[in-house]
Amino acid sequence: MDLNYIRRGAGRPLLLVHGIGGSWRSWNTVIDALAAERDVVAVDLPGHGETPALVGENSIRTFADALTSFLTRHGLLGIDAVGSSMGARLVLELARRGGVVGAVVSLDPGGFWQGWEVPFFYHSVSASVKLVKALQPVMPMLAGSAVGRTVLLPQFSARPWAVDARQAQEEMRTFANTPVFEELLDQLAHGEKQQAAPKGSISEPLVIGWGRQDRVCLPSQAKLALAKFPDARLYWFDNCGHFPQWDQPAETIKLILAATSGHGLPEAFAADQRQLQTSQPKVPTAAVVGSTLALLAGGVWLLASRRK
């Protein structure tokens, strides 16, 4: 099985890997600017977009195998890679394996939760996706207004009202229609833990970017990510939630191009890892519960209005 993909631009190849429930279109906010500088290859992961699901298990391990096979088939081994959310964990895994990718930018990677963070992640995302599925009849109306996006996206964005309306609608559509979503969500929360890459084992540039207001993969999880990938450098996005390409697209483009330029990340452009202990905004469970209830209330109100 091959992966569906699009290819734009010219220059040094750059792989884009979306998150759970997304597609190559998850990069719409940054892909044109990246393609102005690079030969961009954006894939649909198995069971996402126009790529069929794998036969058997759908997990980080099998997706990493599928990506490796794709890169081998297309003569792209050693390609620089950028991942978001689940895709961010995938590119970290490919970097850990060695010989698969070059420079890596991992944006808000999943899989570094511990203790109470596991059910927090699983149940909050599961509830959100169930509501998104239920609200599909009114999703164009909901995602098309700033008020609707404020109600719909607070778990994923620090500035949900400002998220591009078409991007929000596309992402909510694919969230609702990805057949492997529930299996992957369970695998991410309860499946195999991410293996570590010992210090010195990754020679290519590796940057982990994290939104300070991420309510899916909490900023405190960056500590474990750095412990497992000590060769990585950490970059904080201010005023940013789970998707930097939504909340800070210009800064995301700048980071990706700088980190994968072959010249390394300028010291002044990288966040100091010592900020880790002072840069973790607390995200009470009540905030996400409140957001979920607001989403439900907004959907009921819109449905009622539509009937009237």
Could you read off the pLDDT of 239-256 as tens digits, one per residue? 999 999 999 999 999 999
Residue-wise pLDDT for 171-226, tens only, equals: 999 999 999 999 999 999 999 999 999 999 999 999 999 999 999 999 999 999 99
Q: Is the pLDDT of residue 45 over 60?
A: yes
- Separation CA 5–CA 20 (nearest Å): 16
Going by their DSSP bridges, the two strands 101-107 and 233-237 should be labelled as: unpaired
pLDDT of residue 2: 87
Confidence tier at 227 by pLDDT (50, 70, 90): very high
From residue 189, alpha-carbon distances to 45, 115, 206 in Å are: 19, 11, 24
pLDDT of residue 279: 43
Confidence tier at 290 by pLDDT (50, 70, 90): very low
1-20 core/surface letters (b: 16 or more CB in 10 A; e: else): eebbbbeebeeebbbbbbbb
Confidence tier at 75 by pLDDT (50, 70, 90): very high
160 and 154 Cβ atoms separated by less than 8 Å: yes
Helix, strand, coil shares of the chain, percent, nearest 5, are: 50, 10, 40
pLDDT of residue 264: 61
pLDDT of residue 262: 72
Indicate the pTM of the whole model: 0.88
223-247 core/surface letters (b: 16 or more CB in 10 A; e: else): bbbbebbebbbbbbbeebbbbbbbb
Total residues found in the chain within this entry: 308
Q: Is the pLDDT of residue 282 over 60?
A: no
In the chain, what percentage of residues exceed pLDDT 70? 85
pLDDT of residue 270: 52
Q: Is the pLDDT of residue 293 over 50?
A: no
